[in-house]
Amino acid sequence: MIDRKSLPTLAVAAVIAAGLAYLAKDSLKAPERSGPLLPAPAEAPAAVASPRLVALPGGGTRDLSRPPGQLLIVHFWATWCPPCVEEFPALLGFWKEYGKRPGLGLLAVSVDEDWKTVNDWVRSVGAGGIPVALDPQRSTAKAFGTEKFPETYVLAPSGQVVDKFIGPVPWSSPAIRKRIDGLLEARPAGTSGG
């Protein structure tokens, strides 16, 4: 039997436990995924979109508003972002396995301020096989709708965003690989790889 003097203490403990359970309810969820997103209207050509330029290692740029002609994974990250750093080995493992598949591309777009920081970090973790780009002003990340890092977008060969992942992606997950495989299989006939 419960003593009446301990009832207030038990009531407070129950309220605290309920509050902690509410705060922890999403802690074990997989990263948010929004998609597939609605396609752009057919009458709006890709050229109408504002340029989404990222800097390439050789000094050139790439406009991510132009149709990539292949399924393209655009991954926004930074060397100063702990979840990005934790996710990177899995992304590298995924790319080592999937990088030679026809019709699939990857561009890991860093929002760090300079190439030296990115190159030094990539070299230090042995991730030289990852295709990287730089968006130091975060203008392209913002144009995509990125609010926090990491965020990943999957673009159809036409340039349409077909998937978006907020937070670290479990790249070795069978569900993620099945989704990428399905998107690769759904490529329109005549779409080139590369």
Q: What is the CATH number of the domain that holds 137?
A: 3.40.30.10
CB distance 101 to 194 below 8 Å: no
| 83 pLDDT above the threshold of 70 | yes
Tell me the residue range of the domain where 84 lies.
33-39+47-185
Whether residue 26 is contained in a domain is answered as: no
Question: Is there a domain that residue 194 lies in?
Answer: no
- Structurally, the chain folds into a number of domains equal to 1
Q: Is residue 11 part of a domain?
A: no
Q: pLDDT, tens digit, for every residue of 148-188?
A: 999 999 999 999 999 999 999 999 999 999 999 999 998 65
Model pLDDT, residue 25: 45
The answer as to whether 21 is a domain residue is no
What is the longest distance spanned by two Cα atoms in the chain? 77
pLDDT score for 23 = 43
Q: How confident is the model at residue 128 (pLDDT cuts 50, 70, 90)?
A: confident
At residue 46, does pLDDT exceed 50?
no
Angle between helices 174-185 and 82-98 (to 10 degrees): 50
In a domain, 193, yes or no: no
**Strand intervals (E) in 29-182:** 32-34, 53-55, 61-63, 71-77, 104-110, 132-134, 151-155, 161-166
How confident is the model at residue 36, as a pLDDT?
41
Residue with tokens 């997950």: 173
Q: Is residue 14 part of a domain?
A: no
- State yes or no: pLDDT of 40 exceeds 70: no
Which residues is 142 bridged to in the sheet? none
Q: pLDDT tier at 51 (50, 70, 90 boundaries)? A: confident
CA distance 26 to 22: 8
